Structure 1
Amino acid sequence: MLPIRLARFGIRSVAANCKRINIGSLSQVAREFSSDERPQFPGSRSQWTEKLEFIRPDLYDGIPVYRVMDRKGKVIDPSQDPQLSQEMVTKMYKCMTQLNTMDRILYESQRQGRISFYMTNYGEEGTHIGSAAALDPKDLIFGQYREAGTLMWRGFTLDQFMNQCYGNVDDGGKGKQMPVHYGSKELNFVTISSPLGTQMPQAVGAAYAYKRSQNGLCVMCYFGEGTSSEGDAHAALNFSATLDCPVIFFCRNNGYAISTPSKEQYRGDGIAGRGPAYGMLTIRVDGNDVFAVYNATLKARQVAISEMRPVLIEAMTYRIGHHSTSDDSTAYRSVDEVRYWDERDHPISRLRNYMLSKGWWGDAQEKEWKEDCKRQVMTAFARAEKKLKPNWKEIFTDVYHEMPSHIREQMKQMEEHVQKYAEHYPLKNFTKD
């Protein structure tokens, strides 16, 4: 009767069942499931206990923070020094400082009404450059909206940054996106979306496609600790683990989700604490230590590709600037708190100290670079500001491969409207073709 009973549960035969679970005989199955040594519940790896105890998250130490340098730029354990060349480290430093300079000028331009919106990267430069430097340029990046440094590392020019923020005729997005919503097909950087979390399940889908194609590449997905509270984040993390996707989830935990401090957003041990629950390799790093970020990302990439599994990196950092030009952070944090991170634990000053200790950098080089960097940014800024806006008809393009009749009709109505009320539209600022 045993084969008949098994058939009722969808098992074709005893032999087929034994083969399926890789056990040689039914007697072995019986021994396996009758043992009291360990519970056999699917979906857990537990042991028995006779103590009635709840797990208290406030009574154990949190996940440690991996670092290479101390706050003064001194390598603590020489074995962890990535031993990067002077040329590589200098590029990191120049990229971080140029990003800082661009932020300052574009932030001020928004305050002057010259662009509509901006978001700075102050204090988080180490997370951008350290992670981008460890990736292959062909790896696909899904950013949020504070990863400009990763694009800068890959070669996105100052002119391209400025053109996008101005939405002029040379903007790759044809003026259809808000400022700082960059994208570059050539640099394998997916165009940024404003809503939180949309990029996370998209990144998993791309990584699954990479897995199927076996192209030797991985996907990098950046997000903030605020985004981790979105439903898309939970779906993405779970899908990536169950589907064994080569994706790196890189969380920039900068302490504040817009105006909500992290301590008010969640009660657990940061974002890294969630990794093991999803069955993912996880590490927490000092995001203000560019070498720690580089080492962690490099290793995560190796694991993601060789083992075909996702990795979660939580980079602990601090958002020195306001969330955006629409935010006033003094309403929810003190000036002294911001000053501490700016003066005592900044990723740029930490890397500069490292370079000084190596004899790779000095005051004369610092002065010359600052002047040259500002000149480059201001020149690109001036060029972008003088360019015309795209033709207004671009509003109706790029959604469909062939424009459908109802969109064509809308464009015709718009054209008639603009011609009728031309005096109310600054048509001289737009291209005519």
Structure 2
Amino acid sequence: MKDRNHLADVKTVSNVQIIKNGVVDIPMLQILSAEGSVIDGAVEPALTKEESLKIYDTMEYIRVLDERMVGAQRQGRISFYLASTGEEAASVASAAALSPDDMIMSQYREQGALAYRGYKTNQFMNQMFSNKDDPNKGRQMPIHYGDKALNFMTISSPLGTQIPQASGYAYGQKMSGKDVVTICYFGEGAASEGDFHAGLNMAAVLNCPVIFFCRNNGYAISTPAEEQFAGDGIASRGLGYGIKTIRVDGNDPLAVYAATKEARALAIAEKCPVLIEAMTYRLAAHSTSDDPTGYRSRDEENKWRAKDPITRMANWLEGKGWFDEKENDKRVEKARQDVLAAMKACEKTDVCDIDDIIEDVYDTPPWHLKEQLASLKAHIKKYPQRFPKTAGRVK
């Protein structure tokens, strides 16, 4: 048995030695160049044509969805949206490397992972319009998806809460004896939350089969990475907690897939956590409430547009003879029409019954919630013009 303080394993020195930041040089896995060609010496992951096209088509679909829904928010049709433009590879390619039985716990920019799992356009729309077909019954902000059948835990607004939850869920998976993992997505800004440190330490100590997937997109809303931390990104923190760590080019779909595939195999074989830091960039605004022109330049954005993951993969597919531009244009146009049709249909769907607002928490709603509901109904009856979808249904 090792010494509890690990003193028996520590190398001793006779003079003061200061360990400097940057001593550990963490490499970044890259398979495709910015132009989409395979880098010399790189090994392509064993992806079939069908799998490769599914990854590509899902990224294209998400970009179409994002464009439409940002426009819908600007038109006042939904209240809020978060686009993943430029980061599609991070969520889609990582999800492709998982088993459908693996649990996904996301932050709020992983709609690509959910779409890859099979979430339909009308399901996205029902949630964003908070109508009666929304499984959350309209009690969540837009883009706070969740789907039990697809093993996608419902998104929460507070940053980082999913990180210790993922450790706990993965511990349960280990105890069950099943060869499954939990993947937990978050941004480098969320890694500044206390839950990040608690979650990683818990997973390391208890040997939980969880993949911590950090999308380092350069900004925590308007705060650039260099003003968030002085260390070598987020990957160095994984090493500090004794967690196996991979840094990957987050705009390279093949590299993201390969890194996640390896991380999953490690997590299952060794019943241990793995941290992946995907180096990417948020081309979109943080959300529809944000204006990025106030804190970054067009030149900076254009530099990253040249590394667009969709163009990058399209060029790779074309090189393999798997890409037909005309057929792709048809698929993209069909996606636009499908998104538009679903949006028009779902925004006309009735909202949930107002009584649902106090259900599902207690076996019987307590008196104080009943009083609040009665007060809300009275308010709606007094100002019916402000609640056109609800006023006529309040009894």
TM over 0.5: yes
Alignment of 1:24-423 (within 5 A): 41-42=5-6, 45-58=9-22, 60=23, 62-77=25-40, 80-342=43-305, 344-419=306-381, 421-422=383-384
1:289 shift after superposition:
0.7
1:251 shift after superposition:
0.3
Bigger mean CA deviation after superposition, 258-267 or 365-374: 365-374
What is the distance in 1 between the residues matched to 2:345 and 2:266?
44
CA 135–166 in structure 1, closer or farther in 2 if over 3 Å, else same: same
CA 41–416 in structure 1, closer or farther in 2 if over 3 Å, else same: closer
Amino acid of the structure 2 residue aligned with 1:398: D
Bigger mean CA deviation after superposition, 404-413 or 208-217: 404-413
Bigger mean CA deviation after superposition, 346-355 or 80-89: 80-89
CA 394–57 in structure 1, closer or farther in 2 if over 3 Å, else same: same
> Are the equivalent residues in 2 in contact too, given 1:164–1:179 (CA < 8 A)?
yes
What is the distance in 2 between the residues matched to 1:262 and 1:400?
43
Name which of 354, 368, 387 aligns with 1:425: 387
CA 255–129 in structure 1, closer or farther in 2 if over 3 Å, else same: same
Amino acid of the structure 1 residue aligned with 2:76: G
1:302-329 Cα deviation digits (max 9, x unpaired): 1111211100000000000000011111
What is the distance in 2 between the residues matched to 1:101 and 1:188?
24
> Are the equivalent residues in 1 in contact too, given 2:351–2:389 (CA < 8 A)?
no
Amino acid of the structure 2 residue aligned with 1:188: N
What is the distance in 2 between the residues matched to 1:85 and 1:322?
34
What is the distance in 1 between the residues matched to 2:242 and 2:99?
25
CA 415–328 in structure 1, closer or farther in 2 if over 3 Å, else same: closer
Q: Which structure 1 segments of 5+ residues have no match?
A: 1-20, 23-32, 34-39
Structure of higher CA gyration radius: 1
CA 198–240 in structure 1, closer or farther in 2 if over 3 Å, else same: same
1:414 shift after superposition:
3.5
Amino acid of the structure 2 residue aligned with 1:305: I
What is the distance in 1 between the residues matched to 2:271 and 2:390?
54
> Which TM-score applies when normalising by structure 1?
0.87
What is the distance in 2 between the residues matched to 1:386 and 1:352?
36
Amino acid of the structure 1 residue aligned with 2:338: Q
CA 370–400 in structure 1, closer or farther in 2 if over 3 Å, else same: same
1:54 shift after superposition:
1.1
1:220 shift after superposition:
0.7
1:164-205 Cα deviation digits (max 9, x unpaired): 111111111111111111111111111111111111111111
> Are the equivalent residues in 2 in contact too, given 1:169–1:431 (CA < 8 A)?
no
Q: Which structure 2 segments of 5+ residues have no match?
A: none
1:396 shift after superposition:
1.3
1:48-84 Cα deviation digits (max 9, x unpaired): 22232311215x4631100111111112256621131
1:45 shift after superposition:
4.3
1:357 shift after superposition:
0.5
Amino acid of the structure 2 residue aligned with 1:173: N
> Are the equivalent residues in 2 in contact too, given 1:388–1:429 (CA < 8 A)?
no
In structure 2, what is the equivalent of residue 30 of structure 1? none
- SS of the residue aligned with 2:211? strand
CA 427–284 in structure 1, closer or farther in 2 if over 3 Å, else same: closer
> Which TM-score applies when normalising by structure 2?
0.95
- SS of the residue aligned with 2:185? strand
CA 43–175 in structure 1, closer or farther in 2 if over 3 Å, else same: farther
Amino acid of the structure 1 residue aligned with 2:6: P
CA 162–55 in structure 1, closer or farther in 2 if over 3 Å, else same: same
Amino acid of the structure 2 residue aligned with 1:51: N
1:222 shift after superposition:
0.5
1:427 shift after superposition:
4.5
1:366-423 Cα deviation digits (max 9, x unpaired): 3212211211111111111211211222221122233233323433444444445545
Amino acid of the structure 1 residue aligned with 2:189: G
In structure 2, what is the equivalent of residue 14 of structure 1? none
What is the distance in 1 between the residues matched to 2:21 and 2:42?
33
